[in-house]
Amino acid sequence: MNKFVGRAVKTLAGVAAGALIVGSASAADLAAPEPAVAAEVPSVVDLAFGVAGVNDYLFRGLSQTHGDPAIQGYAELQAYGFYAGVWGSSIKDFATDPSMEIDLYGGYRTTIGAFGIDVGGLYYYYPGERTPAGVKQLDYWELYAKPSVTVFDVVSLTGNFYWTTDYVNVSGDGYYLSVIPKVAIPLSSFPDLGFYVSGELGKQWVKNEKLFGARNFLADYMTWNIGAGVTYKAMTLDVRYSDTDLKKGECLGYTGFKSTCDERVMVKLAFDTAFSKLK
C-alpha cells in the first residue's frame, strides 16, 4: 500500500523552474486493508495466503492505479504469534515506472481476552524503478502498532499507528493514525455466510520532507471510508466509499495528478485461507 509521491517528484521536477506546487501527503484494510490476514494467533506453524482483485487500489485514500483495477496477493508464515510475509500489487503511473509494489513485513500479534495488539514493521519495495536525474527511488520503511478491542464478539475497534523517518524516501517524518470500527453480523442458520459493516477515519502527517530544496511541500490530510461486506467461507466481497480532504493542487503534490485523491467507490473480491484450514 504505497505512495505516488514518485509521480509528484516528476511533476515537481518539471515545474522547478517555475512555481512550486504545494503537494499533499502520500499514496491502504484496509479499506484498503493491510496485507496480513486478521487471524487468531496460531499455536503451531502455519502459512496463510490469499489473492484479491480490486477495481481501484487505494492506499490511505489515494489511488495507486489512477482509477484502474489491480491484482493483489500475499503469503504469510505464522508461528506462535510471530509472522513474516510478502504482499504485492499491480500499480500504475508512478514517476519511476516500477513494475509493481512489493511489501515485506513482519511482527508479532496476540490477544488477551477482548484485547489484541499487533506490532511490526514493513518495507515498501518498487522493483524495476527508473531514476531520471533528480528523481529518487521510492523504497522506504514504516513501523506500526495496531491495538484492538472486541465487544460481544461482533463489535470491534482497531487503532492503527504508522511511523517512519524517511517517508517515501524524501527524508521526511511520516505519521499515519486511524481508527477502524467494525460490526459483524453473523447468521446462525448459515455458519459459512456472514456480513459486516466497517469504516475508517485517519490522518496522514508528513514533516520536514525535502525535495528540490523545498521543505514541507506535502500537506497533511484526512481520509475516511465506509462500507460493507459479505463473507462466504474463504471469500469476501467488500464495497466501500472513500474520500480525502485534499485539494486538487495538494493531490498533485502527492500523486502527480489532480483526480486521484477525490471520492470514489472501491470494490474488492478476495480469497483468504491458510494451510491449517484446507481439508
In a domain, 232, yes or no: yes
CA-based angle 246:61:151, to the nearest 5?
Answer: 125
| Least confident window among 9-23, 56-70, 83-97, 195-209 | 9-23
Contact 204, 176 (CB under 8 A): yes
Q: Can you point out the beta strands (E) in the chain?
A: 23-24, 46-54, 58-59, 62-63, 70-79, 82-89, 101-112, 115-125, 140-151, 155-164, 173-186, 193-207, 210-211, 214-215, 218-219, 221-232, 235-244, 264-274
In a domain, 174, yes or no: yes
In a domain, 119, yes or no: yes
In a domain, 105, yes or no: yes
In a domain, 254, yes or no: yes
The candidate with the shortest Cα–Cα distance to 206, out of 21, 26, 61, 7, is 26
Does residue 103 carry a pLDDT above 50?
Answer: yes
Please state the separation of Cα 204 from the chain's center in Å.
12
Could you tell me the CATH number of the domain that includes residue 131?
2.40.160.40
Tell me how many domains the chain contains.
1
In a domain, 146, yes or no: yes
| Structure confidence by residue, pLDDT tens digits, 136-182 | 788 999 999 999 999 999 999 999 999 999 888 776 899 999 999 99
In a domain, 193, yes or no: yes
In a domain, 279, yes or no: no
* Beta strands 210-211; 193-207: pairing state: unpaired
Domain coverage including residue 80: 5-274
Whole-model pTM: value is 0.84
